[in-house]
Chains A and B, each alone.
Chain A
């Protein structure tokens, strides 16, 4: 029915990858700034917006890799 799951190392790496945006999101001082702004939107806002998209992409990749 299903392809074999990836090995232990790969699973660990995939999990770490999955949580990168998580830890970026919680590290508030990293993005609590106005510059550089993008199309008039301050960094604080467009960074979090971009992070949503990155999270979705990483989650999709991790799913495809059968974590």
Chain B
């Protein structure tokens, strides 16, 4: 048991716990209103949004899994880097429109917008359910990040006793999310992000120097892994897989309820646009963290007998924790591990709030209790955020981690199927809402079937005109989705089917506050 690391860890954890509860009084307002609990009153400025979105998008799972992938598979693991840089121009152009219409009409979720735009509660329900389903495994995976660092500090208990620290951490998280809503992760994100930057900058400066420089690091990596495999004849191979995976992830990222929630909490459009220029700083951190995967290879952490059992249990996810343990003094190990653990709490909190918002607005208020008052909504959302976290915790404790990883892949495929409805809906109502529902169904079914058939490998080798085009399953499913939506729309128009009502007007999409 690494007592020094554990002490530092607990101190930092205690700090964010206090912040989590204190956050309820930050920019104080009536937290019995969903807008305040779930979106912090839409009052966050540029800097807070930068910390919030940074903490939200760059999760503990990201920081553990990306270097793990680089460590094991090489260049393909780096795909997170182009993916994050492609996100920003896309979000810059598209999402201020969603912010504007949501602000104008008091929409809290993407499904709220869909309901208003298409006049279809059913289509909104499909979007809401997809969002909730996609979020759940993601919360569970954050816990994996916490599990790994807790084990790395020396907790070797088996069964429920060994999971006790995780349960305690989660109980505390649930408590301050309940009381403070979105303000809690926003405030905690400041600590998280500062710790992450501190850890990353230190790690990428100190450790490679100890190994003889970056040249040495790259020289120690198996040559074949350093680049993407060049495709063979008649095959677009890793090139198309990499590109479509990045593109699909870009399109999907802000469709995830937790990302959108962070965005909707901004106080005006400029906050969003400025952040698109500022958030790339986190991508730099991510690229550096990915490098650590190679540094771990060069440092031969896998050959260190002290870590054998951990690599057995956690696989390549242990690469970065092993690296920290091997090179840093115990107190800094505590800092680094706290960064990862807190790095899991922030997105887990926001994800549970986002899922709770969806349920409350688009299931509870829409279908179960139309007469719900704002206080009822807030109460329901708070309860739901607890239940969602409990569900995720139970999943990680009792179900093998691989299932969570597989569901996460499916979740990515699923959430992408809401793109035609949510994103195209921001620009046009040409697609009929029934056609969008049909397209959604086609994409969901096909995407799920293919993903399962590929044993949850993300790419599908499509055979087309003599070529094998390996592409991201979700992306292919999206193309089918769009095709079906267009086709059915044409049919519906020919049959003179009535379009639903539109509660929005064009100016709403440019609406701004000062």
Please give the residue numbers on chain A whose beta carbons come within 8 Å of chain B beta carbons, in ascending order: 1, 15, 18-19, 21-22, 25-29, 32-34, 39-42, 44-45, 48-49, 51-53, 55-56, 59-60, 62-63, 67
Question: A22 contacts B86, CB within 8 Å?
Answer: yes
CB-CB contacts of B80-112 with A at 8 A, as 1s and 0s?
Answer: 011011101110110000000000000000000
A21–B84 alpha-carbon span in the complex (Å): 11
Question: Top 4 A-B pairs ranked by shortest CB distance?
Answer: A40-B215, A25-B82, A56-B280, A59-B277
Question: A59 contacts B230, CB within 8 Å?
Answer: no
A56–B243 alpha-carbon span in the complex (Å): 20
Complex contacts, B82 vs chain A, CB 8 Å? 25-26, 48, 51
Please report whether the interface of chain A is mostly helix, strand, loop or mixed according to DSSP: helix
Complex contacts, B214 vs chain A, CB 8 Å? 39-41
Question: B92 contacts A34, CB within 8 Å?
Answer: no
Question: B226 contacts A44, CB within 8 Å?
Answer: yes
Complex contacts, B215 vs chain A, CB 8 Å? 39-41
Question: B243 contacts A32, CB within 8 Å?
Answer: no
A60–B75 alpha-carbon span in the complex (Å): 29
Q: A40-B216, A45-B78 are in contact. Are A26 and B228 (CB under 8 A)?
A: no
Let me know if B276 is at the binding interface, CB within 8 A. yes
Complex contacts, A28 vs chain B, CB 8 Å? 228, 238-239, 242-243
CB distance from B211 to the nearest CB of A (A): 11
Q: A26-B246, A32-B239 are in contact. Are A52 and B85 (CB under 8 A)?
A: yes
Question: B213 contacts A40, CB within 8 Å?
Answer: yes
Pick the contact of A44 from B75, B93, B217 — CB < 8 Å?
B75
A67–B89 alpha-carbon span in the complex (Å): 12
Complex contacts, B283 vs chain A, CB 8 Å? 52
Question: B228 contacts A19, CB within 8 Å?
Answer: no
What are 27 A-B pairs with beta-carbon distances under 8 A?
A15-B93, A18-B89, A19-B89, A22-B89, A22-B90, A25-B82, A25-B246, A26-B86, A27-B243, A32-B230, A33-B227, A39-B215, A40-B214, A40-B215, A42-B227, A44-B226, A45-B291, A48-B78, A52-B84, A53-B280, A53-B284, A55-B85, A56-B277, A63-B273, A63-B274, A63-B277, A67-B92
CB distance from B222 to the nearest CB of A (A): 13
Pick the contact of A34 from B227, B230, B284 — CB < 8 Å?
B227
Let me know if B218 is at the binding interface, CB within 8 A. yes
Complex contacts, B291 vs chain A, CB 8 Å? 45
Complex contacts, A53 vs chain B, CB 8 Å? 280, 284
Q: Across the two chains, which residue of chain B brings its CB closest to A48?
A: B81
Q: A49-B284, A52-B283 are in contact. Are A59 and B227 (CB under 8 A)?
A: no
CB distance from B268 to the nearest CB of A (A): 11
A59–B287 alpha-carbon span in the complex (Å): 19
A52–B226 alpha-carbon span in the complex (Å): 20
Question: B277 contacts A60, CB within 8 Å?
Answer: yes
A34–B224 alpha-carbon span in the complex (Å): 11
Let me know if B169 is at the binding interface, CB within 8 A. no
A49–B273 alpha-carbon span in the complex (Å): 22
Complex contacts, B86 vs chain A, CB 8 Å? 21-22, 25-26
Let me know if B278 is at the binding interface, CB within 8 A. yes
Question: B228 contacts A59, CB within 8 Å?
Answer: no
Complex contacts, B89 vs chain A, CB 8 Å? 18-19, 21-22, 55, 59
Residue among B93, B217, B277 with max Cβ neighbours from chain A (10 Å): B277
Q: Across the two chains, which residue of chain B brings its CB closest to A23?
A: B86
Complex contacts, A67 vs chain B, CB 8 Å? 92
Let me know if B247 is at the binding interface, CB within 8 A. yes
A28–B86 alpha-carbon span in the complex (Å): 13
Question: B85 contacts A25, CB within 8 Å?
Answer: yes
